[in-house]
Amino acid sequence: MEHALLPHLDAAHNLARWLLGSPHDAEDAVQDACLRALTFFDGFHGEDGRAWLLAIVRNTCYDWLRKKKRLVALDDVATPADCAPGPELQQLQAADRALVRQSIERLPAEYREVIVLREIEGMAYKQIARVIDAPIGTVMSRLARGRKRLVELLGAVK
């Protein structure tokens, strides 16, 4: 059991922190998720341990957000205009630590989680699909939209 979970606790904490925003909430959610994982360990058949644990962490986080009603529905978020001119490359390249963090934080959770799993955790589409329990096509379209938003957010400063 521990062998399946331990290598992925950093990844679990990273995802929880990006989804919940607070270090304390993230820590508690990971604890919660680990207990759930322990309970449902029968459901783990030795496949990708990281995707399996992250799926549980994600569900735990969403339960928390729902309880606190902090979940921003995708529909509430304005979709950027398709033909918006792209920001200058130099602006993207000049993005600093604070701006990058804030830009990711400002993404709707549905986009934020796939961006975190792909760009920070380095997961393949198939693994991300397993974590968010959605088809690969959904992973792809959310990544595309998330990236588009990020380009705008990162490029929106002088």
Partner 1 sequence: MTCNDLHPYFDDELDVAHAAEFEQHLNQCAECTAALERMRAVRVAIRQHAPYYRKPAARRSIPIWIGLAAAACLAAVFVLRPGAGSPLDDEVVTAHLRSLQASHLIDVASSDRHTVKPWFTGKLDFAPEVIQPSGFDLLGGRLDYLQGRPVAALVYQRRKHTINVFTWPGGADHAPQADSRQGFHILHWNRAGMHWWAISDASPDDLRALAGEIR
Distance from first CA to last CA of the chain, Å, rounded?
50
Q: Number of residues in contact with partner 1, rule: CB under 8 A? A: 45
| Distant-in-sequence, close-in-space partners of 97: CB < 8 Å, separation ≥ 6 | none
d(CA 113, CA 108): 9
Q: Is 100 in the site for partner 1 (CB under 8 A)?
A: yes
144 near partner 1 (CB under 8 A):
yes
Answer whether 149's CB lies under 8 Å from 107's CB. yes
Question: Per CB under 8 A, which region of 13-21, 39-47, 58-66, 71-79 contacts partner 1?
Answer: 13-21
Decide if 11 contacts 121 (C-beta within 8 A).
yes
Can you tell me the distance from the alpha carbon of 73 to that of 92, in angstroms, rounded to the nearest whole number? 27
Q: What character string, x for contact with partner 1 (CB under 8 A) and - otherwise, covers 54-93?
A: --------------------------------xx-x--xx
Q: Which has the closest alpha carbon to 145: 93, 108, 101, 103?
A: 108
What six digits make up the tokens of 21? 């925003």
Report, in Å, the least distance between residue 17 CB and partner 1: 4
Q: Which is nearer to partner 1, 88 or 133 (CB)?
A: 88
Q: Binding residue for partner 1 (CB under 8 A) from 77, 124, 134, 138?
A: 124
Site residues (vs partner 1, CB under 8 A) = 2, 5-6, 9-10, 12-14, 17-18, 23, 26-27, 30-31, 34-35, 38, 86-87, 89, 92-93, 95-97, 99-101, 104, 115, 118-122, 124-125, 140, 143-144, 147, 150-151, 154
